[in-house]
Amino acid sequence: MAGGRPTKYTDELLAEARAYISDFQEHGDLIPSLAGLACVVGLSRETINVWSNEKPEFSDIVKDLLAKQERVLLNGGLSGAMNASITKLVLSKHNYSDKQEVQQDITSKGEQIKSIAPHQFVGGDQ
């Protein structure tokens, strides 16, 4: 690589990133996070995002981290060991929601609605 900076993408960095998923608590983190990973391996969040899109092996590491994050949050939230508001906020990034989708049909009372042409209305043009 003439003239370019040497890459930080090494087997050692990958091993350190994988290890973070298991030992995140040893780094003072309550949950594994991309911010924690960035600090531990000495990368910016931007670089982590770029590598997770461009480098399949690093992408797998990020996916594993996010799965572990989700699991830790679920267990902590269900047990009451973690702050409910923060747990809810972070789990929303994993597509969890407390919204209830209610589908109510108030016009047809469950009956199939049929199309009616204008000339079929009482008093319509015929």
Is residue 2 scored above 80 in pLDDT? no
Could you tell me which of 82, 58, 56 has the C-alpha nearest to residue 69?
82
pTM: 0.71
CA distance linking residue 22 with residue 63, whole number of Å: 14
Per-chain mean pLDDT for the chain: 86
Is residue 87 scored above 90 in pLDDT? no
**Residue range 20-50, pLDDT digits in tens:** 999 999 999 999 999 999 999 999 999 999 9
**Per-residue model confidence (pLDDT) at position 106:** 61
User: Where are the domains positioned within the chain?
Assistant: 11-92
Is residue 80 scored above 60 in pLDDT? yes
Q: Are 91 and 74 in contact (CB under 8 A)?
A: yes
